[in-house]
């Protein structure tokens, strides 16, 4: 492990603080909280499955600008368990049928949709119509048309919209963005991004059901590879071609198993990405004119790890940090103070445009599909 001397430590600390701007557990003495409002936003989680229970609810216990105020579940047996565990009052508990009554509940400011992918649009739109700010898990929805419907519903009802892209406020991701923007190793020329895991032997899970998931590995892990390709390149792709590989067709009956895609970006960077439900992969490689940087792991819950061609470890002086706390605090602060929304709906829609282009290319035998995204979804930090 790299020895961090005082100067390196300070440089890295400054970078981390600047990049991660909202690490809620950083002591106030670091001066991050100027302009902070005292109100904590009440968040209601919709869908109490693995991610809501395993990551989001525990992360909300550590948040500074928001807290777990309510739940929406289709499983009555979960109600008492969650009410007891997180001190949630009965009046803040909803099911999928009476969910729209949430409009009358002032304790809920934000609805966070953590359901199977094809249910995101319906619940985001119902939340917006109820006058609640919305966070939707990734992928934002299963088609560009659904993304548009969510964006429009939020606009029409004057509520804010964010996507659950926890990497966008991760300090390691922000260090990559800094290297790309400040160019200490020159311009980026090539990127490579991989995101995949081996799906266990459960053919009945919703992730393998096209109607519920919208697609396979690409919809699930592929959006991470698309995201890191873009922050690794520092620009949106202008063309993409893709191939699909299936080695377990009996298991992946309805959805894609593994996909590779090649991209050219608007700044002439070229790159490729890989996503899979049948291989473990978790890496971003960025090649600059005079060196390289790599994050590995790159897309998991953290802490991430990385290094550069200079032999430096990309490492921050945090024993443990919570991506989801930072992500939700960042969105809450956006709602409360108008600070930057690091994962807006437009970013989620852009990624689904790319997902649709990848599926189109595969359908057309790997044909190169042009993309006209401009700066869509690029958030200047």
Residues in contact with ligand NAD by the rule CB under 6 A? 47-52, 74-75, 114-117, 137-138, 164, 166, 206, 212, 220
Residue 97's Cβ-count burial label (10 Å; 0-12, 13-18, 19+) is exposed
User: What's the gap between Cα 322 and its chain centre?
Assistant: 14
Measured CA to CA, the distance from residue 179 to residue 377 in angstroms comes to 20
Residue nearer to ligand NAD on the CB measure, 75 or 309: 75
For residue 370, the tally of other CB atoms under 10 A from its CB is 10
165-192 burial code (b ≥16 CB/10 A, e <16): bbbbbbbbbbbbbebbeeeebeebbebb
- We find the least distance from the C-beta atom of residue 281 to ligand NAD, in angstroms, to be 15
Chain-centre distance for alpha carbon 24? 18
Across the beta sheet with 161-163, what order do the strands follow?
A: 93-94, 66-72, 41-46, 110-113, 133-136, 161-163
Closer of 165 and 265 to ligand NAD (Cβ): 165
Q: Quote the least distance from Cβ 204 to ligand NAD, whole Å.
A: 10
Nearer of residues 137 and 256 to ligand NAD, judged by Cβ: 137
The nearer residue to ligand NAD, 171 or 185, going by C-beta atoms, is 171
Comparing C-alpha atoms, which of 108, 155, 148 is closest to residue 129? 155
Which of 73, 361 has the CB closer to ligand NAD? 73
We find the least distance from the C-beta atom of residue 116 to ligand NAD, in angstroms, to be 5
CB of 318 to ligand NAD, least distance (A): 19
Instruction: Please report how close the Cβ of residue 28 comes to ligand NAD at its closest, in angstroms.
Output: 28
| SS3 labels along 37-103 | CCCCEEEEEECCCHHHHHHHHHHHHCCCCEEEEEEECCCHHHHHHHHHHHCCCHHHEECCCCHHHHH
Minimum distance between the CB of residue 260 and ligand NAD, rounded to whole angstroms? 21
Report, in Å, the least distance between residue 267 CB and ligand NAD. 28
Q: Residue 282 has what DSSP assignment?
A: E
Tokens 């969105």 label which residue? Answer: 331
Residue 53 or 131: the one with the smaller Cβ distance to ligand NAD is 53
Cis preceding-peptide flag for 82 (omega within 30 of 0): no
Q: Which residue is nearest to ligand NAD (CB)?
A: 49
For residues 335 and 344, what is the distance between their CA atoms, to the nearest angstrom?
12
Least distance to ligand NAD from the beta carbon of 200, Å? 13
- What values do phi and psi take at 114, rounded to 5? -125, 40
CB nearer to ligand NAD: pick between 164 and 234:
164
Task: Name which of 138 and 264 has its Cβ closer to ligand NAD.
Answer: 138
Task: Let me know: does 241 contact 368? Beta carbons within 8 Å.
Answer: yes
């Amino acid at each position: 492990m790299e020895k961090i001397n005082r100067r390196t430590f300070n440089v890295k600390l400054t970078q981390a603080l600047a990049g991660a701007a909202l690490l809620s557990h950083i002591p106030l003495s670091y001066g991050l909280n100027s302009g902070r409002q005292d109100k904590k936003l009440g968040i209601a989680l919709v869908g109490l499955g693995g991610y809501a229970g395993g990551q989001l609810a525990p992360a909300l216990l550590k948040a500074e600008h928001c807290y777990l105020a309510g739940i929406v579940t289709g499983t009555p047996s979960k109600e008492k368990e969650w009410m007891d565990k997180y001190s949630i009052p009965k009046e803040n508990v909803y099911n999928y049928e009476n969910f729209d009554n949430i409009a009358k509940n002032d304790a809920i400011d934000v609805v966070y949709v953590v359901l199977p992918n094809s249910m995101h649009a319906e619940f985001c739109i119902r939340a917006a119509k109820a006058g609640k700010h919305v966070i939707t898990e990734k992928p934002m929805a299963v088609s560009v048309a659904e993304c548009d419907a969510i964006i429009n519903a939020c606009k029409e009802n004057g509520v804010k919209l964010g996507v659950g892209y926890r990497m966008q406020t991760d300090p390691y991701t922000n260090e990559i963005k800094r290297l790309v923007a400040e160019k200490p190793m020159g311009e980026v020329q090539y990127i490579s991004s991989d995101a995949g895991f081996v799906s266990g032997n459960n053919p009945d899970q919703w992730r393998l059901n096209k109607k519920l998931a919208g697609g396979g590995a690409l919809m699930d892990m592929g959006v991470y590879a698309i995201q890191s390709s873009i922050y690794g390149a520092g620009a949106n792709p202008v063309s993409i071609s893709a191939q699909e590989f299936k080695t377990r067709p009996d298991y992946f009956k309805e959805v894609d198993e593994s996909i590779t895609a090649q991209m050219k970006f608007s700044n002439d960077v070229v790159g490729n990405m890989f996503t899979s439900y049948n291989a473990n992969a978790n890496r971003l490689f960025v090649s600059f004119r005079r060196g390289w940087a790599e994050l590995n792991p790159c897309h998991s819950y953290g802490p991430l790890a990385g290094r550069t061609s200079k032999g430096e470890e990309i490492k921050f002086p945090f024993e443990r940090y919570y991506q989801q706390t930072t992500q939700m605090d960042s969105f809450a602060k956006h709602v409360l103070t108008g600070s930057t929304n690091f994962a807006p709906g437009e970013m989620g829609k852009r990624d689904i445009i790319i997902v649709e282009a990848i599926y189109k290319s595969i359908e057309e035998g790997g044909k190169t599909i042009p993309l006209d995204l401009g700066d869509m979804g690029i958030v200047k930090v």
